[in-house]
Amino acid sequence: MTGTIRLRPGTLPPALLLPFPHPGTGPAQSRPIPREGLVLGRGEAVFDQPFGDPAMSPRHAEVRFQGAHAVVHDLGSAAGTRLNGVPVRESHTLAEGDVLRLGDTMFVYTSTEPPPAADEPRSATEPELTGATASIEAVRRSIAAVAPHPRTVVVTGETGTGKEIVARLLHRHSGRSGPFVAVNCGGFTEGLLASELFGHVRGAFTGAVAEQQGLFRAARGGTLLLDEASDIPLAFQPTLLRVLETWQVRPVGSSRDVPVDVRVVAASNRELVSLVQQGLFRADLYARLAQWNIRLPPLRDRREDIPALSRALLAQLGAEGRALTPDLEEALLVHPWPLNVRGLSNVLSIAVIATPAGQPLALGPEVLAALEDNRIERSVLPPAAPPVELDRARLEELLRRFGGRVAELARHVGVSRPKLYRLLWSAELDPACFRRR
């Protein structure tokens, strides 16, 4: 079953418990956690539907507040209560994004607003941004706001967070009739990138046996995605800046400029603004590219989207509606996902291959190995977010500006929501006091 439980607004940071939805269950529900606590168990009427989990004890565990913190307490259940994959002895404080397992039912403890009641209609042919957390909703709103405007957009986020999907959605909602063209800027020398983007005339260099129009012209009337924009060679950046200012390209070996009408989106795993600070990316090009910024949150900061993403990815893998064992659900929910949604997709595809047809997808040795592989990669990934200076005065100013909306503020400053909550608590600032009525 699905459901969310929220705190009464205005008292403490809002909190949700989100059970892992199973195929065929209804939309998510929400209700406040009362101050006096909430008992979760097979015999408790927490949502419209009962939990329907025989592994849950009638009164399994309780969540209640001690000061500013929610605390989970096992009520002597038969199967035990687990927090982030580890059994809870007596009681334990809950933190943002924590995963609780009561019997075979999973919950995510989070502070985002409840997801909308129903999923948006999906396109059969185009990739969609699956997810209902406030951070993904804000990304959708951001796409809808900027898509029709001829603005250059920078999309940042760790690898596999969906930057290319965002670029495709920007194109789809732009009303532009030309094509969507993507180029990975990594690994090109200055000269090769010029020829790739602007084209070349016949004989421009050894091997240029025929004229090439280049990707700017290929994307005419449409959208050009400059992927891995952080890898654009520094020496080439002034040339690209000139093109973005004049909307004219000069093919390599030609003396004539050709006008182009293209919407440019730049995507990067690394925060371009921090590269500018380190002198690794030109400030003038960054300013020209970042007429609008979209930041994608890492998957581990929106664990409550993992169930919906798993269902969407399974459908893409031809395993629509396939059930998961509780052990696999728990493993997917607690994993740190350094490769984000791409990593989740890989692990699910291994589970589909490794599990015999007709059985729920299980946490077998192949899946465990795939999860382990995913964990190791994290250490070799480039850092994503720049360090930020957030003292009390700055936090207060930002809370006022964002009307107490923590998810939006976190995105703006480029820190995770849990980290922002910790900063707010240590600065003794309550976002609820800044919400506009």
Residues in touch with ligand ATP (CB under 6 A): 127, 129-131, 157, 159-165, 227, 267, 269, 309, 312, 341-342, 345
- As measured in angstroms, the least distance from the Cβ of 146 to ligand ATP is 18
Give the DSSP H or E segment for 396: helix 392-401
The length of the chain, given as a count of residues: 437
84: exposed, middle or buried (C-beta count within 10 Å: 0-12, 13-18, 19+)?
middle
Given a contact cutoff of 8 angstroms between Cβ atoms, the answer to whether 224 and 166 are in contact is no
- As measured in angstroms, the least distance from the Cβ of 130 to ligand ATP is 4
| Residue closer to ligand ATP (CB basis): 114 or 160 | 160
| Residue closer to ligand ATP (CB basis): 309 or 420 | 309
- As measured in angstroms, the least distance from the Cβ of 172 to ligand ATP is 14
Strand residue runs (E) in 126-284: 153-156, 180-184, 223-227, 248-249, 258-259, 263-268
How many CB atoms within 10 Å of residue 248? 14
| Residue closer to ligand ATP (CB basis): 264 or 312 | 312
The whole-angstrom separation of Cα 433 and Cα 96 is 20
| Residue closer to ligand ATP (CB basis): 25 or 184 | 184
| Residue closer to ligand ATP (CB basis): 210 or 376 | 376
- As measured in angstroms, the least distance from the Cβ of 52 to ligand ATP is 28
The stretches of 262-325 forming alpha helices (DSSP H) are 272-277, 283-289, 306-316
- As measured in angstroms, the least distance from the Cβ of 158 to ligand ATP is 7
Looking at residue 298, what DSSP letter applies? P
| Residue closer to ligand ATP (CB basis): 46 or 165 | 165
| Beta-sheet pairing, 69-74 with 38-40 | unpaired
3-state secondary structure of 118: coil
Which pair of tokens denotes residue 35? 């101050």
- As measured in angstroms, the least distance from the Cβ of 159 to ligand ATP is 4
Given a contact cutoff of 8 angstroms between Cβ atoms, the answer to whether 229 and 180 are in contact is no
| Residue closer to ligand ATP (CB basis): 316 or 426 | 316
- As measured in angstroms, the least distance from the Cβ of 268 to ligand ATP is 8
Given a contact cutoff of 8 angstroms between Cβ atoms, the answer to whether 390 and 410 are in contact is no
- As measured in angstroms, the least distance from the Cβ of 225 to ligand ATP is 9
Closest CB to ligand ATP: residue number: 162
3-state secondary structure of 175: coil
| Residue closer to ligand ATP (CB basis): 83 or 314 | 314
The whole-angstrom separation of Cα 56 and Cα 49 is 15
